[in-house]
Structure 1
Amino acid sequence: MPTLSHASIFFFFFSLLFPSLHFANSQSFIGINYGQVANNLPPPEATAKLLKSTSIEKVRLYGADPGIIKALANTGIGIVIGAANGDIPALASDPNFAAQWVNSNVIAYYPASKIILITVGNEVMSSTDKNLMSQLLPAMQNVQNVLNAASLGGKIKVSTVHSMAVLTQSDPPSSGAFDPATSDTMRGLLEFQRNTGSPFAINPYPFFAYQSDPRPETLAYCLFQPNSGRVDSGNNIKYMNMFDAQVDAVRSALNAMGFKEVEIVVAETGWPYSGDANEVGPSIENAKAYNGNLIAHLRSMVGTPLMPGKSVDTYIFALYDENLKPGPGSERAFGLFKPDLSMTYDVSLSKSSPVRFESIF
C-alpha cells in the first residue's frame, strides 16, 4: 500500500469532513435576483456571460422578460420567473389566461431555458388586499394545472413569495407563527405546496432588523461576525447569526401548522453598500461582510440549528443596482455588479477567484 504525504492525508480527511466544500463551481444553493427597475442595465447576453463566469447557478426574475429567458438558454442556469400581482385575478378566474401565460412564458422557452420555479405574486399575504389573498391559491392551482397538462408538473414548481411580515412572531425563532387572521388562507397554500413539492419562499433581511436595533452587537450578529450569540428561550439553542434565526422562525411556523415537509427557499436577502445620510447600516464594508459571510455560511453546509447539514437555496439581492427604484437611497444600492459588469465588491463568486470559507476549525 503506497504511503500518503501529510498534505494528502489532511486533504483526505478534510474531504470526508467537508465533502461539499470542494470548489464553488457547482453550488446550486446560491442564486441571485435580477431586477430590472433601471435604465442602464447591460444587454441580457452580456449578463448571461457574466453569470457563467460565476458560481451562481440560479437567477430569479420578477417577471418573465423574454430577452433574459432567451439569453439564459443552454447555460444550465436555473431560472425563476414571476407572475405579477396584477395578473393574479385573471390567473385565478380564467384557466385560458393561465394557459396562455404558461405557454408564452414557459413552454415557448423550455427546456433550453431551464425554468425551475414560477412565483405567483410577491408578498401578497402581508398586503392589506384580502381579495387578492383569496385569489392567490386559485391562481397557483390554475398555473399548476397547465404545467401538469404539459407534463411539466414535476419539473417546474409553483410558489409565491412572502415577506417576513407574514410571521406575527419570530423572536425567539422557536416561537415563529403565522398570522391567525390569515391562517385558513395560509393553510390552503401550504397544502397545495405540500402536495406539489413546491418550496415556501421567504425574504429575510437582517439589514432591516439591524436598522431597528442599531447596536454594535446586533451588527456583528447580523453580519455573521464574532458575537456572543442569542439563546432561544424556547429550546435553549444559541443562535450566532440573524439569518439562521429568521429562517428558523419560518421553519418553526411551518412546523407548528403541521407542514414539516415543506422546504424553505430564501427568495431575497442582501445588504446595501450605500444609502442616505440618515440610514443606519449601508456601507461597502457591511455589504461585503454580509454577502461574503452568507455565501461562506451556505458553502459550509452547516445549515441552521433546526435544519442542520444542508444549505437552504438562497437568492441574493441583487445582481445589479436598480437606479429607478423609489424610496431611500439604499433601495438603489444592493447590486453586486455594476452596469459595466465589474464587481461592486468581491464576495468570491467568480470561478477564477479563491473560495472563502467561514472559520470552521
Structure 2
Amino acid sequence: MIPISIFEKISHQLQVKKPFIAFSLPDSEIITFYFQKSNKEIDIKENDEQGFVMHPFDESQKVYNISKSDADTIEIKINESFEEFKNIKIKVNPSEIETHKALVTKAISEIKKKRATKIVVSRVQKIALKDFKFELLLERIFSLSQNTFRYVWYHPDTSIWCGATPELLLKTEDECFHTMALAGTREYVTNSSVVGWSEKEQHEHQVVIDDIVNKLQKAVTVLKMSKSYTHRAGPVVHLRTDIRGCFKKGKASLSAIAKILHPTPAVCGTPRKVASEFIKEFENYKRELYTGYLGCIQDKSKDSFLFVNLRCMKIENNHAHIFVGGGITADSNPEAEWEETQNKMKTMLQVLQPML
C-alpha cells in the first residue's frame, strides 16, 4: 500500500495546482516522487539540471520539466502487483471503427504510391468514469507489469497523464547509450512461449531498426544490435531489438541524441517528414503528450532514461482519454489494425476497471 502521507501530498499539489511526477523504472520496486515546490518553469536541459522531462509528440508544442532542485523528492517501495488481464468490454460507436479503418486505408494508399514506407496512425478513446479515485489510479498503475516504465504525471496545463510504456527511447551510461526498436504487436497468449511473427510484422520491425541505425550513425562511434526477440508488455507482446553504442566526442548529449531519434518510426513512420505531415493532416486530433517522450535526467555519474509515451491515457473532467495506434505498411489490413488498437487499450482499461 502507498502511505497516506503521499496521498495527502498529492492532494495538496492538486489543490494548489503545482506539478508532480511519480515514476518507477522497469524491473524496479521503487516509486520516485518529485513534488514541485514553486511555480517557476525551469528548462532542465538548457540549464544542465537534473529532473524530469515531459516532451510532446509535436516539436512545436511546449516541453514540461520538473527540476530536482525545485522539488521535494520521496522514494517508496512497491509491495504488490496484479495480473488480472480481464477482457473488459467498452461500447464503441460504429462510426469510430469506420473512421479509423478509413484512416488506415488512406495510409495504405499513400504507401502504395511510394510516398512512404510506414505511417503510424492513432486514435483516442474517450471513456466516462463513474467513480474516479486518484488513490486507486496510483496504486493500480504501479501494480502493473514491472518490465514497463510506469508513471503518473500532473501539470495544471496538461491535467493528469499516466501510463506503462514498454519502449525505451534512450538510456545513457557514461559515454555510451542503449535504445531499442519495438514494432509488431500481438495479444499475449498464456503459456505460449513461441510467437510466429508474420512477414508484415518482421518487415515493419526492420523498417524501425534501419531508420534508428541510419540516424544514430551521425553521432556515434560504435553500434551493436541484439537479435530480435519477443518482448511481453502486460496483455500484449512485441518484436524487440536492442541497440547499443558509444557517442562521438563532443556529441554525448542526451537531448541531442533524443532529438535525432524523436519521433521514431515506431510512433511516426518513415520517411519522418512525409509520415509527420500525413499525421497532422489526417488524424484529426492532437496527440498532445502521447508518442512524445518522458523520463529522468541525471548528472553524468548516474544513468539517464527517456521512454516513449505509449500505453498511456489522460484523465480530465471525470473522463479517461486512452491513446492507441499502430504502424501501417503496404500489407496492413484495416480490420486487423483496428483490433490491434483494441488490444493496446487493455493495459489502461485494466487500470480503470474499478472506476468504470
Taking structure 2 as the reference length, what is the TM-score of the superposition?
Answer: 0.24
Higher helix share: 1
Between structure 1 and structure 2, the one with the greater Rg is 1
Taking structure 1 as the reference length, what is the TM-score of the superposition?
Answer: 0.24
User: Highest relative contact order (Cα 8 Å, sep 6+), 1 or 2?
Assistant: 2
